[in-house]
Amino acid sequence: MQVLVTGGAGFIGSHIVDALVEAGHQVRVLDALLPAVHRVRPEVNDAAEFRAGDVTDRSAVEAALDGVDAVCHQAAMVGLGVDLDDLPLYATHNDLGTAVLLAAMARRGVGRLVLASSMVVYGEGGFRCATDGPVRPGARRRTDLDNGRFEPPCPRCGAPLRSTPVTEGAPLDPRNVYAATKVAQEHLAAAWAAACGGTAVALRYHNVYGPRMPRNTPYAGVASLFRSALERGEAPRVFEDGGQLRDFVHVHDVAAANLAALEHSPEPGRLVPVNVGSGQAHTVGEMAGALAGAFGGPLPRVTGQYRIGDVRHIVASSDRARALLGYQPATTFEAGMTAFARDPLRA
């Protein structure tokens, strides 16, 4: 199969390229090499064809789709961003870029798409109240956060809640600009599939980490921020009280999920969302501690600070990924963090 990987020079995209090449597929990479991610030109698998170009550029996308059987769409701006001045860039690269790509795929008759989505589309994860059962808490209030009350209460009775794994059927509730653009990408892909009878799988990544993460950038994931701090000899700064639950999944497992999704044949004409996680919950504080311990210090510092748009707990249910794709994560939290403490990061 000839596969186009947009964003294939990036952190996750480059590992997907490697997995596809190893599986015997022909791979073409289209990457804009945005300076927010690539401060130096990255290396790309020698067996893949590389083309520098932006998914917002119709001519570049048209040329990149020549002879392609499937598209693995990874190109996007990620992270919460610096401030709202980033909003036009997120909308341009994530949503306009996806629209240009999908329109070109329809013209070229390319009917197979795997889309990089994210856990952020859910907002908060699953919660259960002892009295009211499954509930969806609203956005946390600044006054509560300012006073160190980080746990969202039951929206009905105000009682404490228990975190539960979030399933793909949960309502979408984006809490920040990046999340809003990922929801829009999914809706665009669903509309494309319905209109042209294409097959589309949206892989909702949870907290991905591993080799080739970019260092020292505000757009990177929390694992990269902590690792970058350790390399500078600084203590990782853990926001809130460090008790935020997340699902940390190794990039090799994410690449394997993409390979499985490309080889899977879902029902045409609709978008199928699939969580991609490790199936294990760990707190951000645990992750910082494990990484600092494997690196050799300094120990993390819990700051009590918060970011508007962050959520408290979100952990993946991996049931659909197992049933639909045969996905089974291979990297444990302990082994992954030990390796990540010494994995090479990108400039």
Cα 236 to its chain centre, rounded Å, is 21
User: Is the separation of the CB atoms in 112 and 198 below 8 Å?
Assistant: yes
Helices (H), 162-241: 177-196, 222-231
Q: Compute the average pLDDT of residues 102-124.
A: 97
Q: Rounded distance, CA 314 to CA 319, Å?
A: 15
Per the residue annotation, which of 90, 178, 205, 306 is the catalytic one?
Answer: 178
Going from the C-alpha of 143 to that of each of 12, 97, 153, 177, the distances in angstroms are: 37, 38, 14, 22
Q: What is the pLDDT of residues 171-212, one digit of tens each?
A: 999 988 999 999 999 999 999 999 999 999 999 999 999 999
Instruction: Work out the number of other CB atoms within 10 angstroms of the CB of residue 330.
Output: 11
CA 218, 308, 90, 12 dihedral sign is positive
Tell me the Cα Rg of the chain.
20
Q: Compute the average pLDDT of residues 298-320.
A: 94
- Whether 169 shows a pLDDT value over 70: the answer reads yes
Find where tokens 């990987």 sit: 5
For 113, phi and psi rounded to 5 degrees? -135, 135
Q: Rounded distance, CA 195 to CA 270, Å?
A: 9
User: Is the separation of the CB atoms in 281 and 314 below 8 Å?
Assistant: no
Going from the C-alpha of 282 to that of each of 162, 237, 285, the distances in angstroms are: 14, 17, 8
Question: For residue 39, what pLDDT is reported?
Answer: 63
pLDDT > 90: what percent of the chain? 86
Answer left, alpha or beta for residue 240, where phi above 0 means left and psi between -120 and 50 means alpha.
left
Q: Compute the average pLDDT of residues 234-256.
A: 97
Question: For residue 333, what pLDDT is reported?
Answer: 97
DSSP string, 120-144: GGGSS-EEEETTTEEE---PPPHHH
DSSP code of 310?
B
Question: For residue 257, what pLDDT is reported?
Answer: 98
Q: Compute the average pLDDT of residues 38-44.
A: 74
Q: Rounded distance, CA 137 to CA 155, Å?
A: 6
Helices (H), the chain: 11-22, 58-64, 87-90, 97-108, 142-146, 177-196, 222-231, 251-263, 284-295, 319-320, 333-340
Which of 219-233, 277-291, 292-306 bottoms out in mean pLDDT, i.e. has the lowest?
219-233
At residue 85 the predicted structure's pLDDT band, cuts being 50, 70 and 90, is: confident
Give the helix/strand (H/E) hosting 246: strand 245-246
- Whether 255 shows a pLDDT value over 70: the answer reads yes
Tokens representing 213 are: 């993460």
Instruction: Work out the number of other CB atoms within 10 angstroms of the CB of residue 263.
Output: 14
Cα 134 to its chain centre, rounded Å, is 25
DSSP code of 83?
S
- Whether 56 shows a pLDDT value over 90: the answer reads yes
Q: How many CA atoms lie within 13 A of 144 on its CB side?
A: 11
Q: Compute the average pLDDT of residues 58-67.
A: 97
The domain limits of the chain are 2-125+166-341
Interior angle at CA 20, CA 17 and CA 22, nearest 5: 105
- Examine the residue annotation and report whether 205 is marked as an active-site residue of this protein: no
- Whether 135 shows a pLDDT value over 90: the answer reads yes
Q: Compute the average pLDDT of residues 313-326.
A: 96
Question: For residue 220, what pLDDT is reported?
Answer: 74
At residue 221 the predicted structure's pLDDT band, cuts being 50, 70 and 90, is: confident
User: Is the separation of the CB atoms in 162 and 98 below 8 Å?
Assistant: no
Domain at 2-125+166-341, CATH from 3.40.50.970, 3.40.718.10, 3.40.50.720, 3.65.10.10: 3.40.50.720
The end-to-end CA distance of the chain, in Å, is 32
Going from the C-alpha of 22 to that of each of 11, 45, 47, 214, the distances in angstroms are: 17, 10, 9, 24
